[in-house]
Structure 1
Amino acid sequence: MIGPEARFDLHTVELICLHEDLPPDVANAASLDWLVGERRIEMPGNLPQARLTIRPAGKEGLAVPAGLVEKPVVGEGRLRAGRAAEGHHVLVMDDAACLALLPGGHSLAEAALQADRVRPALGDAMIFALDHALSSHGQCLAHAACLATPDGSGMVMLHAASGTGKTTTAMALALAGFRLSGDDTTALLAPAESGRLLAWGLPRGAKVHRRTVDMLPALRDLVSDAAWDRHGEQMIDRTALHGAGLATRVGPLPVIGVVSLAHADDGAAPVVAQGAFDALDALMRDNISPHPDGFFPGQEARFDIFSSLVTAARCLRVPVRGHPSEVAATIAAALGY
């Protein structure tokens, strides 16, 4: 049995997501609504189409090609990657999900439903499939928060190594008049007719830590004392962010600034203008993974777009020092807001 289609307008491509014979709990894990639900549409549009099909693995288990190479990944997951005999790329996540990246942005995911880690593995597979669909149609994903400027004329990208304070700084900027487009993942595109790099944030909720709420008490009405997980985090859903006036649906908009957050060093200046090489290096460290066959699938386009980005936008390095509202004010002033 084939489940209903879900369609998402992703600005340069319409992604069609289809489930085959998945039980409800697994189908929920394989949904893209948590990541791009605001972009869901009910009827076909006029964009080129890519398709993602998710189905259970066969009785013999996952159909995994030989010769895959294991890649380091953040957290507890395990990722193996390589090319199948037919020439397309294959990613195997935690031995629970196998994703084939096909031409044209199409993807096929298989799930080993008996695996304990099928839910997080499928979540990872959905992100890779989304990245593949976008990179096949002129876009790329960056691990960065994305905020519209107070006047709505452009986007500011905010990136940092994990634990530096990216989400906390993004929320402080949102409270200072910027509007959150995406808290963790930004899509970049360079339309040929304009020659300008544009950005929009993937519209999921914002995952905040207890410490963030302690430092930014205006967020307290958006969280629940009963919802903190074992890491002291919880997700503020997108509806709540919109209701508080902290999020925006606008975009894509031109990128007017790229801010690299860094741990504060004694004596470091509050803001340092980054040259193109340093800005590109900082972006690559957090976004491009090495692979024995060269770039990982889709990362050639990512490198090209990042290279254009750091030469077209103002790039800043900002040490995270003092209260988040002070860091946000420093960034706003440096960008002229």
Structure 2
Amino acid sequence: MHRLCFALGAESWVVEGSDACLLPPLRALLGGLERDPAAAAPPTWRLELGRPDITGTQGLVLHEGQMETGPPFRLFETTDALVLLCGSELRIEANRADGTGWAMVAPGSERLLMGQAGVFMMSAALDSVGQQLVHAAALVRPGGTGAILLAAPSGAGKTTTALALAQQGFGLMSDDGAVLCPGAGGVGVWGLPRRPKVHRATAALLPSLEPGLGSDWDAAGEQPLDLARLSGLGVAPPGLVLPLEALIWLAGRRAGAARCAPMARDVFLSGFAADNLNRGTTGVPQHHLRRFVAMSRAVGHAPTYELRVGDDLADVGEALRRGLAQA
């Protein structure tokens, strides 16, 4: 057996694979969080290489769709587990009672563990220890005392704004995925150590990113940004946990200068929930209700703001500093 261990905040996630080819995709997804498995607890997740059983699909269907790069998927729940079925290539079962999990991957389909399926596994592991993955950018506040979350639906400009802020005194923890966890003072935050995917439009708005980009753009006009090749960009160490100090909603752009102003907590929570919760055939599933509780706790704990980027990204950092000073 082959083992990997990842630090998820204060917890360890130990994954054991029957074949060595099952582990590199998870290492690519979460490599910055990898720890020595020799000193870790026994494995809680098991990965096996083989043909998944697609006959046992009885249960309440929560969500169906298409993987970003892969087959159609179906998420459903049984009495004991959440089950993710990806065509005939992958089956994942997350036990809701004890936090353990299991996956069967068809030979040649290991790549699926690098994307949404791997995030599903990690999210289930986080849920079992009282942590919740949310769709948001996370940044270190200037001075390094705490973290801020920058939330908005996909396509609203989180990555562009987060990278601009990282050039203006803030530290980038993540541009797209953050984790809410118990922390000193109430709520802690840490970011997924993924390479930001930059769109051509972002590259045009932030020409200083050019050293971290190549010439190959995908069909969506995006490519991963190599942060190690950039200077003058604040990047937080992988897995750094900081107390949550503010929640920012990235709203539409405005003419003139950037502006950050206080936002009603209930309005923020409404948008935050709409972007992070799925509604199944019988309402919001239990694991998303727990996510909603964590988001509600965060909104009750930290002040909420609305940020509108203006004509020039160069002033967004100063606008955010002024807004935060109003708390």
- Give the TM-score category using the shorter length: 0.7 to 0.9
Residue 134 of structure 2 aligns to which amino acid in structure 1?
A
Query: Could you tell me how far apart the structure 2 residues matched to 1:278 and 1:94 are?
Result: 39
Query: Could you tell me how far apart the structure 2 residues matched to 1:296 and 1:44 are?
Result: 36
Residue 73 of structure 1 contacts residue 79 of structure 1 at CA under 8 Å; is this kept in 2? yes
**Larger deviation: 31-40 or 290-299?**
290-299
Residue 155 of structure 1 contacts residue 253 of structure 1 at CA under 8 Å; is this kept in 2? yes
SS of alignment partner, residue 247 of structure 1? coil
2:169 aligned with 1:181: no
Shift of 1:94: 4.3
Query: Could you tell me how far apart the structure 2 residues matched to 1:257 and 1:302 are?
Result: 18
Query: Could you tell me how far apart the structure 2 residues matched to 1:199 and 1:145 are?
Result: 11
Change (3 A) 1:100 1:278: same
Shift of 1:185: 0.5
Name the residue aligned to 2:104.
Answer: 110
SS of alignment partner, residue 259 of structure 2? coil
Query: Could you tell me how far apart the structure 1 residues matched to 2:113 and 2:125 are?
Result: 18
Name the residue aligned to 2:278.
Answer: 289
Deviations 1:121-174 (A, max 9, x none): 762221111011111112111101101012000101111111111000000000
2:212 aligned with 1:218: no
Deviations 1:189-235 (A, max 9, x none): 124xx44211011111111112212211211111112x322222111
Name the residue aligned to 1:155.
Answer: 147
2:240 aligned with 1:248: no
Residue 59 of structure 2 contacts residue 78 of structure 2 at CA under 8 Å; is this kept in 1? no
Residue 9 of structure 2 contacts residue 181 of structure 2 at CA under 8 Å; is this kept in 1? no
Name the residue aligned to 2:298.
Answer: 309
Name the residue aligned to 1:78.
Answer: 72
Residue 247 of structure 1 aligns to which amino acid in structure 2?
V
SS of alignment partner, residue 291 of structure 1? coil
Name the residue aligned to 2:82.
Answer: 89
Change (3 A) 1:268 1:285: farther
Q: 1:6 aligns with which of 4, 7, 13?
A: 4
Residue 134 of structure 2 contacts residue 179 of structure 2 at CA under 8 Å; is this kept in 1? yes
2:172 aligned with 1:165: no
SS of alignment partner, residue 311 of structure 2? coil
Residue 271 of structure 2 aligns to which amino acid in structure 1?
A
Residue 10 of structure 2 aligns to which amino acid in structure 1?
T
Shift of 1:293: 4.5
Change (3 A) 1:149 1:269: closer
Change (3 A) 1:213 1:122: closer
Residue 14 of structure 1 contacts residue 45 of structure 1 at CA under 8 Å; is this kept in 2? no
| Runs of 5+ consecutive residues of structure 2 not aligned to the other structure | none
Q: 2:27 aligns with which of 28, 33, 37?
A: 33
SS of alignment partner, residue 129 of structure 1? helix
Residue 8 of structure 2 aligns to which amino acid in structure 1?
L
SS of alignment partner, residue 269 of structure 2? helix
| Runs of 5+ consecutive residues of structure 1 not aligned to the other structure | none
**Larger deviation: 202-211 or 264-273?**
264-273
Change (3 A) 1:216 1:49: farther
Name the residue aligned to 2:56.
Answer: 64
TM-score, normalized by length of structure 1? 0.84
Change (3 A) 1:56 1:166: same
Counting aligned pairs with the same residue, the percent is: 29
Change (3 A) 1:271 1:75: farther
Residue 90 of structure 1 aligns to which amino acid in structure 2?
V
**Larger deviation: 135-144 or 250-259?**
250-259
SS of alignment partner, residue 71 of structure 1? strand
2:180 aligned with 1:198: no
Residue 254 of structure 2 contacts residue 311 of structure 2 at CA under 8 Å; is this kept in 1? no
SS of alignment partner, residue 74 of structure 2? strand
> How many residues are treated as equivalent by the alignment?
322
Change (3 A) 1:112 1:43: closer
State how 1:227-266 maps to structure 2 within 5 Å: 227-240=216-229, 245-249=233-237, 251-264=240-253
TM-score, normalized by length of structure 2? 0.87
Query: Could you tell me how far apart the structure 1 residues matched to 2:314 and 2:258 are?
Result: 17
Residue 20 of structure 1 contacts residue 56 of structure 1 at CA under 8 Å; is this kept in 2? yes
Name the residue aligned to 1:136.
Answer: 128
Change (3 A) 1:257 1:8: same
Query: Could you tell me how far apart the structure 1 residues matched to 2:284 and 2:229 are?
Result: 39
Change (3 A) 1:240 1:42: farther
Query: Could you tell me how far apart the structure 2 residues matched to 1:322 and 1:74 are?
Result: 36
Shift of 1:247: 0.8
Query: Could you tell me how far apart the structure 1 residues matched to 2:42 and 2:302 are?
Result: 30
Name the residue aligned to 2:288.
Answer: 299
Residue 156 of structure 1 contacts residue 257 of structure 1 at CA under 8 Å; is this kept in 2? yes
2:255 aligned with 1:271: no
**Larger deviation: 261-270 or 120-129?**
261-270
Query: Could you tell me how far apart the structure 2 residues matched to 1:114 and 1:63 are?
Result: 21
Deviations 1:50-94 (A, max 9, x none): 622222343x74353224526255776633222335x22212234
Residue 65 of structure 2 contacts residue 74 of structure 2 at CA under 8 Å; is this kept in 1? no
